[in-house]
Structure 1
C-alpha cells in the first residue's frame, strides 16, 4: 500500500505540477497579451479623438494644443501631413521616424496598428488618417512606451513563482496521505486539473469527506472559482478604471493647460473652466463611490440603525426630490401608510432611494411618472420604486448591479453616471440585511423592489 501510495502520489505530483505550470504559463501569456490589446485599443481610440478635432480645425494652433496635451500624458502623438512630414510632435522624432515610414492603408478610416511588437520595439503605435471633403490631408500617430509591459512581466513572474512554490509544497504534503483507496478520487481530481489547465474553470468535484482528500477537492474547486473570478474581475476592473479615470483627467489637464497658456476671451475661459469643473465633480463622485465600495468590501462601512417612521421619512423624500422631477417634466408619487416602521440607517436608506430615483430621472422622458410604494408582508417591509421610463433590456438585467456596468454605454457621459450607483445600492441593501430585485420591460418601465425586516403596528 505504501509503495502504491508513493507511486500514485509521485504520479499525481508530476501531473499536477505540469498542469499548473502550463496553466500559469497560459494565464501569464493571456494577461500580458490582453493588456497589450487593451492598450492598443485605447491608443487607437485616443488617436481617433484627436483626428476628429483636427478634421474640424487643421491649423497650427490646434496641432500645437494636441501635441501639448499629449506631452502631459503617458502617451505621445505625432501629427503629419499627407506626405508624412511632421507638423507637430510630443516625442523626439528620431525615436519614431521608422514608424512613420511604415505603409498605411488608405481604406483604414478607423485607423490601424502599425507597431505591436512590444517584445523587441520601444513603442506600440497606431495611426489614424485625417480627411477633409474625402481627401487625405494628414495622419495622427499615437505611441505608447513598452517599458511598462516589461515591468508588468517582472511583477507577474514574482507572483507566479510564489504561487508555483506554494502549489509544489501543497502537492508534496498530499503525497504523505495518499493510499490505495485514493486512486478513484485522484483520477477525478486529475481530470479536474486538466480541465482547469485548458482554461475551463467550470469544475465540479463531489464531497469526499472531512479529511485531507476532501480538503484537496475543495481547494481545487476554490482554485478554479478564484481563477475564474480573478480573471474576469482583473480584466473588467483594469479596463473600466483606466478608461473612467483617464478620460476626465485628460480633459482636466488639457483644458487647464489651454486656460493657463493661452490668452482667451472671458467667454472661452468660462467655457473651459466649466468643462474642468464638470469633469472634476464627476471624478470626485467616482472616487467617493469607489471609497464607499472599498469600505463596504472591508466591512468598515458604518451602518447606524435607528427606528424610522417610514411615512414621515417618505414625505421628506417626496419634498426633497419632487423639484428635480418637476424640472424634467416628470412626476413623483409616494404612497406609505403611517403604521410602518423600519430599523435602518436613515442616511444610507436615503442614499439607496436617491440613487434609484436618480436612475429613474436619467432613463425616463418628459411626462413619465415614478412611484414609491411602501407595504408590508409577513414582518417584512417592501419598498418599490416604479418608473414608466424606457426600461432595461432583458439581457442586461443580470449585470446592472456590476461595478462600472452601464446599460446605455453610448450615452454614459451625457447622462453623467459613473456605473457605480446600483453597485452601491446593492451593497447598502445587503448591509442592512435586505434584498433587492429588479423587473423591467423595454418601453414600459422598471421596478426595483427592496425587502427589509421591519416593524409593523
Structure 2
C-alpha cells in the first residue's frame, strides 16, 4: 500500500464502485417498480374489461364465459355479487378468500389494487365494481401468481449481476491504465530527483502533455540545469579563491623568506618589502570583496536610498578620479545635466561607479578616453561609463558579471583585480532595483549602462 499507483487505484476503485453500485441500485429499483406497476395496470385493465362486459350482460352464461376465458390464461378471476358471495371463479375460491373484501361499497368506479406486495404475497390482485343503473351488483377480482413476477425479477437480477461484473472488470482495467498513466511520469520524476541528489544533473524526462505534470517535469529539468550550473560555479569559485589567495601568499612568503635568510642591499630590501606590502594590500582587498559578496548574497547589507543630485555627485567623482587618470594621460569626460536626481544609496552608487571607472582605466591605453555620462529618458535615469580600450570579445560578454571570470585568462598581474569587481557591481545595481547592460567591441571599447 506504499505505492502511489496502488493508493490511487484503490481510491478510484472505491469511488467508481460506489457510484456504479448506487446507480445500479437506483436503476434496479426503478425497473422493478415499473415492471410491477405494468403488471398491476395490465391486471386492472383486464378486470375492467370483464367488468364492462358483465355490466351489459350480468347473467350466469356471461359469468361462465369470463371464467372460462381466464381459466386458459395466466391470471385468475373471481366474480362475486354485491354481498360478496362468490358466483364463479377460475380457480378454487378458497385460495383467494383472504383477498375478498367485506366492504365492496368502498371501491371506486375504475377499481383499485387490493394487493400489490409481489415480494411477500403469493398473488397480486385488483378489483373492479360491476354496476347497473348506478347500483353495485357485483365485483370482478383479478389475481396473478407472483411466481411469474419473481421469475421476471430473477432474470432482471441476473442481467444486473452480469452487467455489474462487466462494469467492475472494465473499471479495474481502466483504473490500472489510468493510475499507471498518472504515476509513471511521477515515478520518472522521482528517479530524476534521486539522480540529481546523487550529483547527476544530466537528467532528461520524457515529453508529456501541456498540463501540470508537464510543467512539473520542465521545472525539474530546469532545476537540474540550474543546480549543475551552480555546482560548476561553486567549484570554479572555490578554485578561483584558492588561486587568488595562494598567489599573494606565495609572494609574501617567498620575499619574506629572502629577507629573513639573506643579507641584502637596502635598495633590494625596500623593493621586496614594497612587493610584500602590495601583495598584502591585494590580499586585504580580496578578502574585503569576498566579505562584501557574502553580505550581498545573504542580504545582510542595507541600501539607504535618498535623492542624489547627480551633477555635484559626478563633480566629486571627477575630482577624485581625474589625478589618477592624468598619470596615464587618459582624458576623462564627465557629462550630467543640472537637477538630475536619482533615488540611490550615495555610498553604494559611488562604489559602483568607482569599480566601473577602475575597470575602464585598466583596459584603456595611454592617451585614451573615458566617459562618465548621465541623462533622463522618459521615466528612467541612465548612467554610462564608456572607454575606448581593448574591448571584450562577444563570446565573453554573457559571463563578465560572473565571479572570478576573466576575459584574459592569462593576463599579467599588472592589470590587478580579482574578478570580483563586476560581480559586486551587478549585485549592488540589482539591490537598487536597477538594471545594468554592457556592450563592447574588440579594440573599440566597452560601455556599461545603468538604468534606474
Offset at 1:366? 1.3
Offset at 1:438? 0.3
| Partners of 2:448 and 2:226 in 1: CA distance | 30
User: Alignment partner of 2:332: what SS?
Assistant: strand
Determine which structure has more spread, i.e. the larger CA radius of gyration: 2
The gaps in structure 2 that reach 5 residues or longer are 10-177
Contact 1:2–1:179 (8 Å) recurs in 2:
no
Offset at 1:198? 6.3
| Partners of 1:246 and 1:354 in 2: CA distance | 26
Residue 281 (structure 2) aligns with: 281
Residue 262 (structure 1) aligns with: 262
| Partners of 1:428 and 1:3 in 2: CA distance | 49
Residue 300 (structure 2) aligns with: 300
Contact 1:201–1:228 (8 Å) recurs in 2:
no
User: Alignment partner of 2:410: what SS?
Assistant: helix
Q: In 2 relative to 1, CA 4–223 (structure 1 residues): closer, same or farther, beyond 3 Å?
A: closer
Residue 348 (structure 1) aligns with: 348
TM alignment of 1:32-47, pairs within 5 A: none
| Partners of 2:221 and 2:356 in 1: CA distance | 37
User: Alignment partner of 2:392: what SS?
Assistant: coil
Residue 248 (structure 1) aligns with: 248
Residue 388 (structure 1) aligns with: 388
TM alignment of 1:324-335, pairs within 5 A: 324-335=324-335
Q: RCO (CA 8 Å, sep 6+): is it higher in 1 or 2?
A: 1
Offset at 1:251? 1.2
| Partners of 2:390 and 2:355 in 1: CA distance | 17
| Partners of 1:228 and 1:7 in 2: CA distance | 34
Contact 2:205–2:217 (8 Å) recurs in 1:
no
Contact 1:4–1:180 (8 Å) recurs in 2:
no
| Partners of 1:420 and 1:204 in 2: CA distance | 40
Residue 200 (structure 1) aligns with: 202
Residue 271 (structure 1) aligns with: 271
Structure 1 residues 187-207: Cα deviation after superposition (integer angstroms, max 9, x where no partner): 653785699686525769877
RMSD: 3.1
Q: In 2 relative to 1, CA 287–201 (structure 1 residues): closer, same or farther, beyond 3 Å?
A: farther
| Partners of 1:280 and 1:396 in 2: CA distance | 30
Q: In 2 relative to 1, CA 283–202 (structure 1 residues): closer, same or farther, beyond 3 Å?
A: farther
| Partners of 2:280 and 2:204 in 1: CA distance | 42
Report the count of equivalent residues: 281
Offset at 1:231? 2.5
Contact 2:207–2:214 (8 Å) recurs in 1:
no
Contact 1:203–1:224 (8 Å) recurs in 2:
no
What TM-score does the superposition give when structure 1 sets the normalisation length? 0.56
Q: In 2 relative to 1, CA 369–2 (structure 1 residues): closer, same or farther, beyond 3 Å?
A: closer
| Partners of 1:408 and 1:292 in 2: CA distance | 24
Q: In 2 relative to 1, CA 189–313 (structure 1 residues): closer, same or farther, beyond 3 Å?
A: same
Offset at 1:425? 0.5
Q: In 2 relative to 1, CA 214–364 (structure 1 residues): closer, same or farther, beyond 3 Å?
A: same
Q: In 2 relative to 1, CA 363–382 (structure 1 residues): closer, same or farther, beyond 3 Å?
A: same
Residue 414 (structure 1) aligns with: 414
Q: In 2 relative to 1, CA 412–293 (structure 1 residues): closer, same or farther, beyond 3 Å?
A: farther
Q: In 2 relative to 1, CA 304–2 (structure 1 residues): closer, same or farther, beyond 3 Å?
A: closer
Offset at 1:283? 0.5
| Partners of 1:292 and 1:190 in 2: CA distance | 38
Structure 1 residues 398-425: Cα deviation after superposition (integer angstroms, max 9, x where no partner): 1111111111232241211111111111
Structure 1 residues 396-453: Cα deviation after superposition (integer angstroms, max 9, x where no partner): 111111111111232241211111111111011001100000000011111100001x
Residue 398 (structure 1) aligns with: 398
Q: Does residue 291 of structure 1 match 2:291?
A: yes
Residue 73 (structure 2) aligns with: none
Offset at 1:8? 10
What TM-score does the superposition give when structure 2 sets the normalisation length? 0.57
User: Alignment partner of 1:409: what SS?
Assistant: coil
The gaps in structure 1 that reach 5 residues or longer are 10-177, 453-457
User: Alignment partner of 1:410: what SS?
Assistant: coil
User: Alignment partner of 1:411: what SS?
Assistant: coil
Offset at 1:227? 3.3
Contact 2:201–2:224 (8 Å) recurs in 1:
no
| Partners of 1:3 and 1:374 in 2: CA distance | 63
Contact 2:5–2:180 (8 Å) recurs in 1:
yes
TM alignment of 1:97-136, pairs within 5 A: none
Contact 1:406–1:412 (8 Å) recurs in 2:
no
User: Alignment partner of 2:375: what SS?
Assistant: strand
Residue 438 (structure 1) aligns with: 438
| Partners of 2:8 and 2:342 in 1: CA distance | 60
Offset at 1:323? 1.2
Offset at 1:179? 3.8
Offset at 1:235? 2.0
User: Alignment partner of 1:382: what SS?
Assistant: strand
Structure 1 residues 71-118: Cα deviation after superposition (integer angstroms, max 9, x where no partner): xxxxxxxxxxxxxxxxxxxxxxxxxxxxxxxxxxxxxxxxxxxxxxxx
| Partners of 2:354 and 2:3 in 1: CA distance | 68
| Partners of 1:395 and 1:180 in 2: CA distance | 46
